[in-house]
Amino acid sequence: MQKAMVCVCVLLLADAVSAATVWDPAANGIYPPAIGDWGVAANWTNGLPSAVADGKAQFNRSGAAECVVSNAQNCTLFVQGDNGPGGIVRIIAGGSITTGSNWSAVGYNNTAHMIVEAGGSVTCGQHFWVGNIAPSVGTLDVNGGYVRVSEMFGIGWQSGRGTVNVHAGHLDLHTVHATDSIKEGSVLNIAEGIVTIDGNHASKIEAYIAAGRIMGYGGKATVHCDYDVTNSGKTTVRAKPPEFGTGDIDGDGDVDSADLVLFAAQWLDEGEELQADLTRDEKVDMRDYSALAANWKTSDKPYYATLHGMIMCGYQGWFNAPGDGANRGWVHWGSSGRFEPGYCTVDWWPDMSEHDADEKFPTGFSHADGSTAYVFSSYNRKTVLRHFSWMAQYGIDGVFLQRFVSETTPGSSARNHRDHVMLNCREGANLHKRAWAMMYDLSSNLTGPQLKQRVIDDWKHLVDTYQITQDPADKAYLHHKGKPIVALWGLGFGRAYEGEDTYDVVNFLKNDPVYGGCTVMIGVQNSWRTNPEYWFQKTVDSADVISPWAVGRYGSKNTSELDNFTTKYTTTDQAWCNDPANNKDYLPVVFPGFSWQNLQQNDKFDQIPRRGGAFLWRQVYKAIHDAGATMIYQAMFDEVDEGTAIFKCTNNPPIADSTTGPSTPFLPTGNMDYPPYDISDAQLPSDHYLWLVGQATRMLRGEIERTANMPVREDR
């Protein structure tokens, strides 16, 4: 009977192989060290796996080039190392593999290696084996990405051998077997990442830990397991980082001569609690000197350790375009899924003159010369890095990255977009030594309990998957009062979600033993001090930084409006926060102007004119001079929807086809049909407001004269 079953299985496997498509980029002229793109049909023997009869993706060609997955791909069955070497499959940021209701394997009966980078994901519809049948050797490296297994998970499931390294990111399992999920000779190694399993499997995991089949940091650290504590209804497995010293003996964040002096003073000493005992072996010797030398002149300090002296911009990062890889179509450019005359929601047009071809997305608009008008996508890594290079060029400190709670549904394209933009921002900030921090925009129709759970779950996702605020390599994440800062915007507006639940969110971010430890900033209604609601005031008491919204609260045509607002709110708010009895930091908001005719389909084009930058400069001056502000929030870096963007916008926007009706206005256009239009803005270079905010930052820090008169640009 068993022989008969084996024969049937072999026949079924042979039939599956005949209908499969095999990764064979050499047939398309691609050989190592070049890499191939999964999404190119010519790299497969029978076209893309999603298009073949049985949906099987098979990897077994000797010497095949690495396979890179950069966007969403799917197959019914994924088999790497199937009767031949499986090579390397790498899923990068924005890439994903989703399999159907069939098992998958990395190392079915041969060698294979899968790598899931930060921002990449794998979702297995059934079982997933890493190293299955001898002589297979399978390796799975989770380097910041996400892997979900819907049924059984096995490392060395039968007679093969497997290694799974969760260096960072999240391995999310449905179930494990008590004896077969990690066979002898195979290992699950956890470093900065996390492993979760649906339900209570704590006893199984503890047994694997005791047997040395689950280890932390290659056996240099302890592994901890809990059920229903770290994650509700789940078994959570994490490793405690090894307590080896980095060479920073005096604890100032730098490895320098001061540490060398302390090391010399304890040379060859023995005993417990020696500062220079970097290897924790109770003696100071050459091993410790090697650790010191390996980290010489490095620093663990963040680039930015305080908000004081900084102007931070809001960064929406919410723009999408067809073909950008996010599969969202037009988002925040147009309406009804279209972006063409009659379907436009922005009043400013980005200057695309510096962008490369792979950053430009064609629109339904044309310039006066008939050429196609292009826009960018925030999903594009190169574009986000370009924005951070502009910040560095003009002396802008950095951004609070907006994360809209309404776009954090697990598995949604919106959350994928948000995660992808976050990774790009983090890379850009570290590359160009700018600051960045997360700001949750709470605006939504969620109830209080729904919002609380959504924010908490999403924050856990960010910490577990991307180590946000906890990644030692991310020196650009903004700190304040000695802790990483997180902002919650949208409090004090009388919305349905406000109350005890939003207070609980602040408390979670500040005090949770695993996910907390943060300084919390709250973005509030400008009348926050007189708001009598009990839980709102409790939230204010708990927060560390207060930032009242000011956009649209005063105009630019009558200077008395800003004067009155500064006297009634800004100076009084600052004084209240400075009072030792309140002990808060105060972050006033400034903005360049306001316009949202296309977004609202009304006549409010250039509703609050920019006055060539004079309006923005006067706000900054009064915040510093009148109120004594030491930090400022600039709304916004890229907000063209409401006309508050300071990044490069063109003075040569496209024109609408006259056959479609009235001309669609943009600012600046010189279109005098939409008063009150300030013609001075149409004559400015596209980088004017980047330069101006850079100068405002210098004034805040006392590097240039504090004056109400806007500076004159000498390089133009």
Query: 443-470: b or e for each residue (b if 16 or more CB lie within 10 Å)?
Result: ebebebeebbbbbbebbbbbbbbbbbbb
Residue with tokens 């179930």: 175
Tell me the two tokens of residue 569. Answer: 């709110």
Relative orientation angle of helices 413-432 and 448-466, to the nearest 10 degrees: 50
According to DSSP, residue 18 is labeled H
82 plus 126 within the same structural domain: yes
Is residue 205 domain-shared with residue 285, that is, in the same domain?
no
Whether residue 198 is found in the same domain as residue 57: yes
Residue 316 lies in a domain: no
CA distance 534 to 529: 12
In this prediction, the residues of the chain whose per-residue pLDDT falls under 70 are 1-18, 220, 241-245, 252-253, 298-301, 602-606, 656-682, 715-716
**52 and 159 housed in the same domain:** yes
Q: Are residues 200 and 269 in the same domain?
A: no
pLDDT, residue 278, reads: 82
Single out the residue of 415, 422, 452 nearest to residue 437, CA to CA. Answer: 422
- φ/ψ of residue 624, rounded to 5: -80, -50
Specify if 78 maps to a domain.
Answer: yes
Q: Are residues 217 and 271 in the same domain?
A: no
Residues 274 and 148 in one domain: no
261 and 230 together in one domain: no
**Residues pairing with 194 in the sheet:** 170
Same domain for 125 and 264?
Answer: no
Please report where in the chains the tokens 């001309």 appear, as a residue. 663
Residue 222 confidence (pLDDT): 83
Interstrand relation of 137-155 and 194-198 (parallel, antiparallel or unpaired) = unpaired
Nearest Cα residue to 197 out of 145, 261, 262, 150 = 150
End-to-end CA distance of the chain: 87
Indicate the residue among 204, 239, 274 that finishes a domain.
Answer: 239
Could you give the CA distance from residue 410 to residue 466 in angstroms, rounded to a whole number? 15
172, two tokens: 């999310």
Structural domain for 264, as ranges? 257-294
- 282 and 143 in a single domain? The answer is no
- Given a contact cutoff of 8 angstroms between Cβ atoms, the answer to whether 115 and 68 are in contact is no
Residue 11 lies in a domain: yes
Cα–Cα distances in angstroms (integers) from residue 647 to residues 304, 391, 611, in the given order: 22, 9, 17
For residues 214 and 190, the answer to whether their CB atoms sit within 8 Å is: yes
Each residue's pLDDT tens digit, 557-588: 899 999 999 999 999 999 999 999 999 999 99
Judge whether 43 lies within some domain: yes
**What pLDDT is stored for residue 529 in this prediction?**
96
- The Cβ of residue 257 has, within 10 Å, a number of other Cβ atoms equal to 10
Token readout for 692 is: 């101006």
Tokens of 7: 């024969």
Judge if 186 and 276 occupy the same domain. Answer: no
Compute CA distances 186 → 149, 216, 382, whole Å: 18, 14, 39
**Whole-number pLDDT of residue 241:** 67
Whether residue 283 sits in one domain with residue 156:
no
Domain count, the chain: 2
Residue 561 lies in a domain: no
365 touches 373 (CB < 8 A): yes
Residue 487 lies in a domain: no
Task: Quote the tokens at residue 426.
Answer: 């983090």
Report the alpha-carbon distance of residue 376 to residue 359 in Å, rounded: 6
Residue 243's alpha-carbon distances to 35, 277, 281, in angstroms, are 38, 11, 11
Q: Is residue 174 part of a domain?
A: yes
Q: What is the pLDDT of residue 176?
A: 96
- Does residue 25 fall inside a structural domain? yes
